[in-house]
Structure 1
Amino acid sequence: MTEDGRGLRHGWTTGACATAATTAAYTALLTGEFPDPVTIDLPHDRHPSFALAREHRDGARATVGIVKDAGDDPDVTHGALVSATVSPGEPGSGVVFRAGEGVGTVTKPGLPLAVGEPAINPMPRQFMTEHVAAVAGRFGGTGDVVVEVSVENGAELARKTWNPRLGILGGLSILGTTGVVVPYSCSSWIDSIRRGIDVARAAGHTHVAGCTGSTSERTVQQLYGLPEDALLDMGDFAGAVLKYLRRHPVPRLTVAGGIGKLAKLAEGHLDLHSGRSQVSFAALAQLVADAGGSAELVAGVRAANTALDALQQSRAAGLPLGDLVAAGARRTAEDVLRGAPVAVDVVVIDRAGTIVGRA
């Protein structure tokens, strides 16, 4: 909540803005008219409308720009102009994505996109592809288009992100799994965690799960069949979950998340946010070495681009890095719990929600 009692305002991701821009541009390409505002469909029955900040049609190309509104989240891309240019593609090609000015290109492995691909993440690609198909069906198009996404001043904004270190060069990534930016507030989030534990205890639950995100939450729910009020929206605040459970124990806790977040927990970090803790590839390499990994694998993990890259290298060599990270995260959790009557297990997942490590 804000100081005057209002709820924090949600915003829209770059992926949602790019989807809206693509929808409006393709509609104009087929009909000659730009829908303003343009409405899109997002998960969880959300149907936001976006005003067009820029529109232009030049023969067989149409361009739409939309200003990103991140709500009350301190997002570096708040106010950025996200544009999509749509032009006809080769017959049968479907939707082909290109990086325009200010959108990065993937240059290193370990990300959910192949090297050389525009840094337009899988879910925004899915959103745009679905909306292109809907527009094509409505107005008689083929759906074979080239979509070029750009972000004004994106290359400069990207310097304030981890993109350069991750090998995403030339600009920003187009992100978002739900299209919604949830306002980031440490105090309110931690208070929500505590209230979640209180509710679970009051309901008599003997097993709760602290998950870093929606994908790990779905995995744990499927794995254990936990009710919704036993699922804690832990996010990056592993320490908040563990410290509160130390004082208000529940018999069993599952900690679940991606290998990058849980590698940080394994090293002893309790705040898993990228701005306050980083994955130590030297620490991952030491885990591999202690487990008998080859010198070549140890060197590869030490030089890895991401924790997922290190995991993939280790799995190819037959070494269970996911299990090793899970075991380290479990040790950290038990250290913080300080003997409280809470049994801990850890589940490590990949980006698709597949379990890649347990302890």
Structure 2
Amino acid sequence: MTDEITPELRRGWTTGACATAATKAALMRLWGGAFVREVGIVLPKGETPVFPLALAEAGKGWARVGITKDAGDDPDVTHGALIVVTVRPSQGGIVFQAGEGVGTVTKPGLPIGVGEPAINPVPRQMMTDVVQEMAAQYGKPPDITIEVSVPGGEEIALKTWNPRLGIAGGLSILGTTGVVRPFSCAAWIASIHRGIDVARAAGQTHVAGCTGATSEKTVQALYGLPDHAMLDMGDFAGGMLKYLVKHPVARVTIGGGIGKITKLAQGAIDLHSGRSQVDFAQLAEIAGVPRVSEANTALEAYEIAGPVLAQRIADQALAQVQARFGAAGITYDIVIIDRKGSIIARAGA
């Protein structure tokens, strides 16, 4: 028997890092007269990646560079996308514009104002720093328009949370460190937080976090909630609830299948199958049916014990949430949904 060695996952670079590198290379052409084959930048935490140019075009008074995004081993929907920056002189200062495939902010609550290109603060600062660095190097005033585009970005954005967050027309240019950590939970949780910010800014007093598409559809129909009230919680109940305690709304609904809600009822706030497990002995105890302890899944336990078990799970889940996250004065309720989208138990409604 040989020991298996798990290879280290390869990190990648954010769209913001790619846009920054493209900005630098484009300015070198605009102000220096020649394209380079590859360009290096310094990221906020000191990393110094080098990016090969995938596109290089120029004309009188403008230069354009494209960098192909490499997300490493992260399953990022923008992996392989071409991040294109066109630079040209501005009437004064640094001006950001959204080109093809980059969205525009249409709802308050995001870190970028309504009507602005969806280029987040850290990438803006990274590109600003590069403009100032290159301006000093070439003896030019830092008066530049930076247009960022992502060919095909509008279609890619449909696979993200952007439409729900009110980012219209394409992708966001993201990144806080410039580095994509493989399979990181941080980006998902950050998106949940932004969803809460948008809902609050819109005056929404009732939001819902669901574990999947089926439960989300059922809960949204049950309460007639608008899209911006629906938070893509997934497995990250804790990430959602902790943020809501600090940024409360009047009412929060948690919806999901019996397996995920069972974990919540048993005290887990990360509901991923690899990070929390169902305690079937405890399920048998609350069901009053010893045979439940032999079940392989929470669904099988429900099939053995019937509706009484689902209701007790919902009640217990509500009690757990109230005990841990009730200090903010939020009213919580729990909705358990089967695979067909039917409600099998509710608590707190």
In the superposition, relative to structure 1, how do residues 280 and 110 fare at CA in structure 2: closer, same or farther (>3 Å)?
Answer: farther
Q: Are 1:137 and 2:136 matched, yes or no?
A: yes
Following superposition, the deviation at residue 96 of structure 1 comes to 0.3
Give the Cα separation in 1 of the matches to 2:182 and 2:153. 22
Give the Cα separation in 1 of the matches to 2:125 and 2:217. 29
Q: Are 1:128 and 2:130 matched, yes or no?
A: no
What are the Cα deviations for residues 136-182 of structure 1, in whole angstroms up to 9, with x where unaligned?
11111211100000111112212222222332222111111111111
Greater Rg by CA: 2
TM-score (norm 2): 0.59
- Aligned residue type for 2:102: V
Give the Cα separation in 2 of the matches to 1:306 and 1:268. 9
In the superposition, relative to structure 1, how do residues 345 and 13 fare at CA in structure 2: closer, same or farther (>3 Å)?
Answer: same
Give the Cα separation in 1 of the matches to 2:94 and 2:103. 19
What are the Cα deviations for residues 42-80 of structure 1, in whole angstroms up to 9, with x where unaligned?
122111110001111101100001100011111111111
Matched residues, number: 248
Give the Cα separation in 1 of the matches to 2:209 and 2:84. 41
In the superposition, relative to structure 1, how do residues 277 and 14 fare at CA in structure 2: closer, same or farther (>3 Å)?
Answer: farther
Give the Cα separation in 2 of the matches to 1:76 and 1:96. 27
TM-score (norm 1): 0.57
* Secondary structure at the counterpart of residue 134 of structure 1: helix
Match of 2:158 in 1: 159
Give the Cα separation in 1 of the matches to 2:324 and 2:164. 33
Give the Cα separation in 1 of the matches to 2:130 and 2:215. 37
Give the Cα separation in 1 of the matches to 2:111 and 2:83. 22
In the superposition, relative to structure 1, how do residues 54 and 279 fare at CA in structure 2: closer, same or farther (>3 Å)?
Answer: same
Q: Are 1:73 and 2:3 matched, yes or no?
A: no
In the superposition, relative to structure 1, how do residues 326 and 36 fare at CA in structure 2: closer, same or farther (>3 Å)?
Answer: farther
What are the Cα deviations for residues 101-151 of structure 1, in whole angstroms up to 9, with x where unaligned?
111112222322222111111111111111111111111121110000011
Give the Cα separation in 2 of the matches to 1:43 and 1:325. 38
Q: CA RMSD in A?
A: 4.2
Give the Cα separation in 2 of the matches to 1:280 and 1:114. 32
- Aligned residue type for 1:126: Q
Give the Cα separation in 2 of the matches to 1:135 and 1:276. 51
- Aligned residue type for 1:35: V
User: Does the CA-based 8 Å contact 2:53-2:65 persist in structure 1?
Assistant: yes
User: Does the CA-based 8 Å contact 1:81-1:152 persist in structure 2?
Assistant: yes
Give the Cα separation in 2 of the matches to 1:322 and 1:34. 48
Match of 2:193 in 1: 258
* Secondary structure at the counterpart of residue 103 of structure 1: coil
Match of 1:336 in 2: 266
The percent identity for this pair of structures is 49
Following superposition, the deviation at residue 336 of structure 1 comes to 3.3
Following superposition, the deviation at residue 14 of structure 1 comes to 0.8
In the superposition, relative to structure 1, how do residues 278 and 143 fare at CA in structure 2: closer, same or farther (>3 Å)?
Answer: farther
- Aligned residue type for 2:23: T
User: Does the CA-based 8 Å contact 1:56-1:63 persist in structure 2?
Assistant: yes
Task: Map 1:292-303 onto structure 2 (within 5 A).
Answer: 303=226
Following superposition, the deviation at residue 277 of structure 1 comes to 8.0
- Aligned residue type for 2:43: L
Match of 2:40 in 1: 39
Give the Cα separation in 1 of the matches to 2:134 and 2:327. 41
Structure 1 segments of 4+ aligned residues over 3 angstroms from their partners: 257-263, 266-269, 274-283, 302-308, 323-329, 332-336, 343-348
Structure 1 unaligned spans of 5+: 190-211, 214-234, 237-256, 287-298, 309-319, 349-356
Give the Cα separation in 2 of the matches to 1:112 and 1:167. 12
Give the Cα separation in 1 of the matches to 2:215 and 2:27. 42
Match of 2:167 in 1: 168
Task: Map 1:26-65 onto structure 2 (within 5 A).
Answer: 26-65=27-66
- Aligned residue type for 1:106: V
Match of 2:84 in 1: 83
In the superposition, relative to structure 1, how do residues 127 and 268 fare at CA in structure 2: closer, same or farther (>3 Å)?
Answer: closer
What are the Cα deviations for residues 219-265 of structure 1, in whole angstroms up to 9, with x where unaligned?
xxxxxxxxxxxxxxxx75xxxxxxxxxxxxxxxxxxxx9374799xx
Following superposition, the deviation at residue 35 of structure 1 comes to 3.0
- Aligned residue type for 1:99: A
Match of 2:180 in 1: 181
In the superposition, relative to structure 1, how do residues 323 and 81 fare at CA in structure 2: closer, same or farther (>3 Å)?
Answer: closer
Match of 1:5 in 2: 6
Bigger mean CA offset, 163-172 vs 19-28: 163-172
In the superposition, relative to structure 1, how do residues 66 and 321 fare at CA in structure 2: closer, same or farther (>3 Å)?
Answer: closer
In the superposition, relative to structure 1, how do residues 7 and 325 fare at CA in structure 2: closer, same or farther (>3 Å)?
Answer: farther
